[in-house]
Structure 1
Amino acid sequence: MRVSSVVVALGFVSLLTDISSEAVSAVLPLFITGALGMSTLTYGFVDGLMQGATALVRVVGGWASDRGDHPKWVAFLGYGVSALTRAGLLLASGFLAITALVAVDRVGKGMRTAPRDAMIAASSDPRTLGRSFGVHRTFDTVGAALGPLAAFVVLWAIPNGYRTVFVISFGCAVLGLAVLGLMVPDLRPRRAAWLERHRVREERGLPKCKGCTCDLTALAPGGKQSFSWRFLTEPGVRRLMGVAGLLALLTVGDGFVYLSLQTRDGFASKWFPLLYVGTNAAYMCLATPMGRLADRIGRAKVFVASHVALLGAYLCAAVVGGGTASTVATLALLGLFYAGTDGVLSALAGRLAGPAVRGSAIGTAQGVVAGSRMCASWLFGLAWFTLGRSPAMLLVAGLLAVAVPVAWRTLRPLDARLRTQAAA
């Protein structure tokens, strides 16, 4: 079964945008700790800000998408904000200005993510939703691999050529915005769900709803909707949010893992962007297979089990004198972790909530994860500063080893519930 053309078009948008954003992100950890001479505690603050700046905005983006029933234009606004920050980076100088612009870029990312994922869910067959998200994440990750690769080539050819990286970043951001505006249709999930429900009623010979008083009143096209966060009180949604937040609190930012590898092995700084390429290459190869696996055996199972790969990455990064094999294993395990969690979380949240609040549910789940990862970066930066590199990594690995079985037991019933809903 083929994926929707909407998924493919959104994949190209994400590919171009991720070339733009990841080219900048790939040089940031080394730029802060190397070129600017800041400590890992400072980088922990910046990395946490990058993670947390998206938390509340993801929820707002999902809410705006559901409220107005025009997710494309909410996403367009988010992509536009990010494109403007690329132009700002060409003019900015100094640590504070660059950090502020990167934080604003993350706000744009948070604004666009939930509406984009809501469009993927609305245009896909529910039975192959994991596959659709996997295909999109494959496109996304191609861009995420090409961005650091472009940064590596620029820095190889032009030492300290950060401005050139920013020019490339701005151009790709503008192209991605153009593809979204011109090639992605203005899907209206709320209207489509309402029409489908009433079409089925008519085919079955059921009487028409007088004044549309059925349980999808809020989905009526053109009708005013009284938005409700009641979906957050549903047991399945609460379980997902709680477990996702707990596991994200034990998810160290990639930049810390890469800094750990460089600190341990002492390789030249010009090779640093290639660490991002390695992780994203693994993610790119595994995103679609992991999405298919999630559709087949259960999305909750795959989501939780993928954190075992993250645990393995921490242990590899903590090893003293690990060398090339340990570095490659770390990058592969990180790619596997993202392939089994990123799109799968959106697929889970999108199926647990109804069409009227799908964007809000996805945005809330992503916001919980972003907020928890912000705290994780701050706490890990402090742990590294006080305990040292290897003890800090082993500490978070031990905590994650305890959390994964708890998460597995908590989320396991969700897969059976979703299978029952799909069969109904």
Structure 2
Amino acid sequence: MKLFKDIPRNVKALGFVSLLNDAASEMIYPLLPIFLISVLGAGPGALGVIEGIAETTASLLKLFSGWISDKLKKRKFLILIGYSLAAFGRPLISITIAWWQVAVIRFIDRVGKGVRTSPRDALISLSTPEDIRGKSFGFHRAMDHTGAIIGPVVAMVLLKYGMSLKNIFLWALLPGIITVIIVIFFVREKRVISESKTVDFKLSVLSRNFKTYLFVIILFTLGNSSDAFLILKAKDTGIPIALIPLLWIVLHFVKMSTSVPGGVWSDKIGRRRVIVTGWMVYALIYLGFGFSSNIWQIWGLFALYGIYFGLTEGVEKAFVSDLVTREFQGTAFGFYHLAVGIAAFPSSVIFGFIWQRFGSLTAFTYGASLAGLASILLLSFVREKERIK
């Protein structure tokens, strides 16, 4: 397609890697709670322990892997390790007989995510001309969301034809193997000529402007609670549980459809404007969820919610790339992912507390308010590089 003609080879390869990896992941993880409870006899507490350990591990490793990739000036090796751990680790869930074994495998999978994410984002940045960074990161996110649609659909079809949960988990090995092959044969290393002989593991090596951007990202994320609360709102409003997966597919379809246009728009008018537009969409959608009381409203809000992702996910990463020099790309992405990971946990705790104590409207208003405040601060205090004409 003409729209993707100028996307660099590395970005296309990493896009297909993310598509296949997410398809494999989404064949397993939507079914994981059912498997833990109905097959292994675990409870919600075990699920909480598994997910808590997994996500904390990933957030911390994203920081260190980014810095290591800058220090070694090599990204591909870390990317390969990360995807290999996920590809060959996830299917082992099919042979587990206890919940703690699932916890170990989930830990391995998240170690893989932590190892690969920051080096991968740095490689996308280094492989892409500055004037299409938004488009490249948008393309990568679009491919990721495509995989998130394919995975559950494949799992649902296999379940319909009578395949057991364990066998579905085992079949997830196939797309995982293909991801590893693509990384080995189609992803190319990008060398960086650095003026610095050493890359110190310090936030101080990054500009004050970038650190201000991180602060604003943390502030926004504190109001960006888990999407599980949106599922809860949908259920409370009257959407049948059987239709929740379809609702999720609609969300990912809109994410996929808007990611590239959002990135291209940011290449033309600037990152800040597009990010703030996305955050304002988020604020309005959250207020809409707070006031919604009909099923049709929930369907509409979920579809519109996908636009927020299309305007922000790839663009925020492109902005990270804009704000730091080439030799510190991995370190910068590491701090970015750590900031999001650190703020994500308390955001859901705070949101859940407000919901339980004061009701869903107050909780959604809290999220919308922080989005508005973050938007003001981004426009007021974070400088943007002049766009290339």
Would you call these one fold, judging by a TM-score over 0.5? yes
Residue 164 of structure 1 aligns with an amino acid whose one-letter code is: N
Cα displacement (A) at 1:293: 1.3
1:243 maps to which of 201, 207, 216: 216
Structure 1, 375-384 or 123-132: larger mean CA deviation: 375-384
Cα displacement (A) at 1:75: 0.9
Cα displacement (A) at 1:81: 1.5
**Do the aligned partners of residues 329 and 380 (structure 1) sit closer, same or farther apart at CA in structure 2, a change above 3 Å counting?**
same
- 1:369 is matched with 340
SS at match of 1:340: helix
Residue 78 of structure 1 aligns with an amino acid whose one-letter code is: G
Q: Which structure 2 residues correspond to residues 282-321 of structure 1 after superposition, within 5 A?
A: 282-318=254-290, 321=293
Q: Which structure 2 residues correspond to residues 266-285 of structure 1 after superposition, within 5 A?
A: 266-269=239-242, 271-285=243-257
What CA distance in whole angstroms lies between the structure 2 residues aligned with 1:5 and 1:282? 25
C-alpha contact (below 8 Å) 2:50/2:106 kept by paired residues: no
What CA distance in whole angstroms lies between the structure 2 residues aligned with 1:233 and 1:63? 12
Tell me if 1:6 matches 2:14: no
SS at match of 2:65: helix
Instruction: Give the fraction of aligned pairs with identical amino acids, expressed as a percent.
Output: 26
Give the structure-2-normalised TM-score.
0.88
Give the structure-1-normalised TM-score.
0.81
C-alpha contact (below 8 Å) 2:11/2:124 kept by paired residues: yes
- 2:153 is matched with 149
What CA distance in whole angstroms lies between the structure 2 residues aligned with 1:103 and 1:256? 24
1:400 maps to which of 367, 381, 385: 367
What CA distance in whole angstroms lies between the structure 1 residues aligned with 2:151 and 2:252? 10
Q: Which has the larger radius of gyration?
A: 1
C-alpha contact (below 8 Å) 1:21/1:169 kept by paired residues: yes
What CA distance in whole angstroms lies between the structure 2 residues aligned with 1:173 and 1:261? 32
- 1:260 is matched with 233
- The unaligned stretches of length 5 or more in structure 2 are none
Cα displacement (A) at 1:172: 1.3
1:116-170 superposed Cα distances (whole Å, 9 cap, x missing partner): 11111111110111011111211121111111222222333338x3223312322
- The unaligned stretches of length 5 or more in structure 1 are 195-215, 219-223
What CA distance in whole angstroms lies between the structure 2 residues aligned with 1:250 and 1:70? 35
**Do the aligned partners of residues 54 and 319 (structure 1) sit closer, same or farther apart at CA in structure 2, a change above 3 Å counting?**
same
- 1:197 is matched with none
Tell me if 1:125 matches 2:129: yes
Task: Give aligned pairs, total.
Answer: 384
- 1:185 is matched with 188
**Do the aligned partners of residues 300 and 276 (structure 1) sit closer, same or farther apart at CA in structure 2, a change above 3 Å counting?**
same
Cα displacement (A) at 1:231: 4.8
Q: Which structure 2 residues correspond to residues 162-181 of structure 1 after superposition, within 5 A?
A: 162-181=165-184
SS at match of 1:180: helix
What CA distance in whole angstroms lies between the structure 1 residues aligned with 2:366 and 2:134? 29
1:205-241 superposed Cα distances (whole Å, 9 cap, x missing partner): xxxxxxxxxxx532xxxxx524352555522111111
**Do the aligned partners of residues 94 and 381 (structure 1) sit closer, same or farther apart at CA in structure 2, a change above 3 Å counting?**
farther
- 2:301 is matched with 330
**Do the aligned partners of residues 184 and 255 (structure 1) sit closer, same or farther apart at CA in structure 2, a change above 3 Å counting?**
same
C-alpha contact (below 8 Å) 1:232/1:238 kept by paired residues: no
Give the CA RMSD over aligned residues: 2.8
What CA distance in whole angstroms lies between the structure 2 residues aligned with 1:77 and 1:128? 28
Q: Which structure 2 residues correspond to residues 44-193 of structure 1 after superposition, within 5 A?
A: 47-158=51-162, 161-188=164-191, 190=192
What CA distance in whole angstroms lies between the structure 2 residues aligned with 1:231 and 1:29? 42
